[in-house]
Amino acid sequence: MSFELPDYLKMAKPNPMANRAPWYKNTAPTYAGIFLWFVFWTGGTTCAANVGGVLSHGIWAPIVSLALAGLLCHAFYYVVLGLMGQKTGLPLYIVGTSTFGTSGGFIMPGFLMGVLQFGWLGVNIYFSALAIFAIDPGTLADKPVPFQAAIVMACLGVLAAFMGLKGIQYVARVATYLPLIPLATLVVMFAATVGGLADFTPAKFMDLHKSAVPGAPDMLTGFGLVAALTTFVVGFFATAGAAGVDFGTNSRDDRDVHMGGVVGIFVAIVFTAGLAMLILAGASGKGFITKEAFTLNPMVLIPTVLGEKLGKVVLVLLAISAFPAACFSSFIAANSFRTTLSKVNPFVSVGIGAAVSIALAISKLAGQLGSVFALIGASFGPICGAMAVDYMLNNCKWSGPRKGFNPAGWLAWAFGFGVGIMPNLGLDLPLAPVWAMIVGAVVYFLAAKAGLQSPTVPMAGAPSEERAAALQAV
C-alpha cells in the first residue's frame, strides 16, 4: 500500500546554494548574538548561589569550565545537526522526520520548538523589565514583581508577539547592530574593573559572601563547579543546538559549519561569560562589592561602576538590545504553529502563548533560570542525541522521512527527558541536560539495532540527499 506524504513534506525544498553565504556572514554572528544576550553572561556568574559562587576556585577554574562546556555544545549538540542541514538544505522540522516520523516529527521537534519559544519569551521580558527599572532580581526572592515592572512585562510580551506575527522584517533590520550594545557594555565594564583583578582572592570573596549572606550553601567542589556551569550553558544552548539544522541550511560546505560553530559557539561562550566573571572578580578587588551591597550579578554592578545616571541608561539599552530576540522567539513560534496547527488562526495560538509568557514573567517563574534551562535541556538534549545517532547510523546521510511515528525516536526522547527532568522534580543529578542527550543517543542506537525504526518513505521518488543536491544547484 502506498503512503501519502503530508503536505508539509511534499512542499519542502532545499535552500539553494545561491542563497548561502560564508560562516562569518550568518552562522557565527547569529550564534554569537545569542550568547551576547545579557541573560546568558549574567546567568553564568549567578548559576551557583554557593559561597563564592563560580569564583570560589579562583578566576581560571570557571573559565576552563566554560571552555569545556563550549566544546561540548559545539561537538555534541551542534556539529552533526549543522552538517545535516548543510547537506540536505532542509530545515529542522523536515530533517527531524527521519528520527520521529512523518507524523511524529510534526510534534517533535516542530511543535515543541514553538512551545518552548514562549518560555524564552517569558525569560526575555522578565529580565528586560527588571533592567529597565534597575531592579536586582536577587531582591525579589520574597517579593512580588513591582506593579510598573509587571506592566512593562505585559507590554513587551504583547508587542513582541505582534512583531513576530507581522513586523519581524523591521526588527531584523536593526537586530544586526543591537548586539553591539552588550558587547560594548562588557568591554567598558571590564576596562573599568580590570585593575582590581590583581587584588582579587577567592578566600576574601568567600568571607565577604558569608558575612553578607549567612545562610549561603557551602562552596562548590571542583566537580560541582564544572557541573554547575556546564548544566547552565548546555541548558541555555539546547534549543539553539537543535536549530543548528536551520543554521546549516545557510552554509556552503562542511568548513562553514565547523567554523561557524567554533567562533559563534565555543569562542562566544568563553568570551562573553568569561569576561563577565572577570568583571565580577575585578569589581570585588576594587571594592565595588561590599557586605551591604553584595552581588554575584555583573548587571547589578553597572550603576555602581559606571555611575548612577549612565548605569541606568546602559541598563535600558541592554533591555532594548534584547527585544529583537523576543520578537524572533515569537516569530519562530508563529511559524511552528502555522505548520503544526494550520487550522488555528496564528493570532489565537500565538496570543495564548504570549499570555502564558507574560504570566510566567509576572509570577517570577521565568526568573528561575536553573529550572527553565533544566527543562529546555531535558526537552532538547534527547532530540539532539537521537538525531545525531540516526544520522550516523545511516553512514552520515539523511535517511529521509520515516513513516508515521518512529518508535526509536520517541523511546529515545522519553527516556532522555525522564533523566533530564530529574532536577526539576527535586532529584539531584549533576549534568542532567548532558545525561539527557547521552541517554537519548544510547536509547536510539539500541532501539534502531532492535529493529524499532519505522520504514523510510521516499520524497518525490528520489533519495533525500541526491534530491537536495540537485535542487541546491537551482
Q: What pLDDT, on a 0 to 100 scale, did the predictor assign at position 10?
A: 79
Q: What pLDDT, on a 0 to 100 scale, did the predictor assign at position 170?
A: 62
The whole-angstrom separation of Cα 83 and Cα 437 is: 18
Assign 142 a pLDDT band (cuts: 50, 70, 90): confident
The whole-angstrom separation of Cα 311 and Cα 134 is: 9
Angle between helices 346-362 and 308-340 (to 10 degrees): 140
- Residue range 96-107: average pLDDT? 90
**pLDDT > 70? residue 3:** no
Assign 465 a pLDDT band (cuts: 50, 70, 90): low
The whole-angstrom separation of Cα 69 and Cα 63 is: 10
**pLDDT > 50? residue 151:** yes
Cell of 20: 548561502
Q: What pLDDT, on a 0 to 100 scale, did the predictor assign at position 469?
A: 53
The CA–CA distances, whole Å, from 331 to 246, 324, 398 equal: 14, 10, 27
Q: What pLDDT, on a 0 to 100 scale, did the predictor assign at position 464?
A: 47
Q: What pLDDT, on a 0 to 100 scale, did the predictor assign at position 461?
A: 42
Q: Give the side-chain half-sphere CA count within 13 A for 132.
A: 20
**pLDDT > 70? residue 198:** yes
**pLDDT > 80? residue 342:** no
Q: Tell me if 47 is assigned to some domain.
A: yes
Residue with the bigger pLDDT between 288 and 108: it is 288
Cell of 123: 525569560
The whole-angstrom separation of Cα 148 and Cα 129 is: 9
**pLDDT > 90? residue 100:** yes
The whole-angstrom separation of Cα 382 and Cα 444 is: 9
**pLDDT > 50? residue 473:** no
Cell of 204: 576574601
Assign 167 a pLDDT band (cuts: 50, 70, 90): low
**pLDDT > 50? residue 470:** no
The per-residue pLDDT for range 370-425, each reduced to its tens digit, is 888 889 999 999 999 999 999 999 999 999 999 999 999 999 999 999 999 999 99
**pLDDT > 50? residue 474:** no
DSSP state letters, 191-203: HHHGGGGGG--HH
**pLDDT > 90? residue 105:** no
**pLDDT > 70? residue 218:** yes
Provide the Cα torsion 29, 32, 36, 42; round to 10°: 180
The whole-angstrom separation of Cα 63 and Cα 271 is: 9
CB 69 within 8 A of CB 235: no
Cell of 192: 573599568
**pLDDT > 70? residue 243:** yes
The whole-angstrom separation of Cα 349 and Cα 335 is: 11
What's the predicted TM-score (pTM) here? 0.91
**pLDDT > 50? residue 463:** no
Q: Tell me if 296 is assigned to some domain.
A: yes
Mean pLDDT of all residues in the chain?
Answer: 90
CB 296 within 8 A of CB 101: no
Q: What pLDDT, on a 0 to 100 scale, did the predictor assign at position 354?
A: 94
Domain span including residue 350: 22-374
Q: What pLDDT, on a 0 to 100 scale, did the predictor assign at position 370?
A: 86
- Please give the backbone phi and psi of residue 402, each rounded to the nearest 5 degrees, phi first: -110, 150
State the total domains in the chain. Answer: 1
Q: What pLDDT, on a 0 to 100 scale, did the predictor assign at position 2?
A: 59
How far from chain centre, in Å, is Cα 233?
Answer: 8
The per-residue pLDDT for range 52-67, each reduced to its tens digit, is 999 999 999 999 999 9
Q: Tell me if 2 is assigned to some domain.
A: no
The CA–CA distances, whole Å, from 357 to 136, 144, 154, 200, 249 equal: 21, 17, 9, 40, 30
The per-residue pLDDT for range 86-97, each reduced to its tens digit, is 999 998 888 999
The per-residue pLDDT for range 17-54, each reduced to its tens digit, is 999 999 999 899 989 989 999 999 999 999 999 999 99
**pLDDT > 80? residue 168:** no
Of 325-329, 383-387, 389-393, 448-452, the range with the lowest mean pLDDT is 325-329
Residue with the bigger pLDDT between 176 and 269: it is 269
Q: Tell me if 414 is assigned to some domain.
A: no
Burial class of residue 439, CB neighbours in 10 A (0-12, 13-18, 19+): buried
Q: What pLDDT, on a 0 to 100 scale, did the predictor assign at position 471?
A: 44
- Residue range 325-343: average pLDDT? 80
**pLDDT > 50? residue 351:** yes
The whole-angstrom separation of Cα 467 and Cα 470 is: 5
CB 113 within 8 A of CB 92: yes
Q: Tell me if 225 is assigned to some domain.
A: yes
Q: Give the side-chain half-sphere CA count within 13 A for 262.
A: 8
Q: What pLDDT, on a 0 to 100 scale, did the predictor assign at position 327?
A: 86
- Residue range 440-467: average pLDDT? 81
Scanning 286-406, the segments in alpha helix (DSSP H) are: 298-306, 308-340, 346-362, 369-393
Q: Tell me if 463 is assigned to some domain.
A: no
The whole-angstrom separation of Cα 65 and Cα 96 is: 31
Q: Collapsing DSSP states into helix, strand and coil, what is residue 459?
A: strand
Domain harbouring 216, CATH code: 1.10.4160.10
Q: Give the side-chain half-sphere CA count within 13 A for 18.
A: 4
The per-residue pLDDT for range 271-284, each reduced to its tens digit, is 999 999 999 999 99
Q: Tell me if 430 is assigned to some domain.
A: no
Q: Tell me if 39 is assigned to some domain.
A: yes
Q: What pLDDT, on a 0 to 100 scale, did the predictor assign at position 466?
A: 52
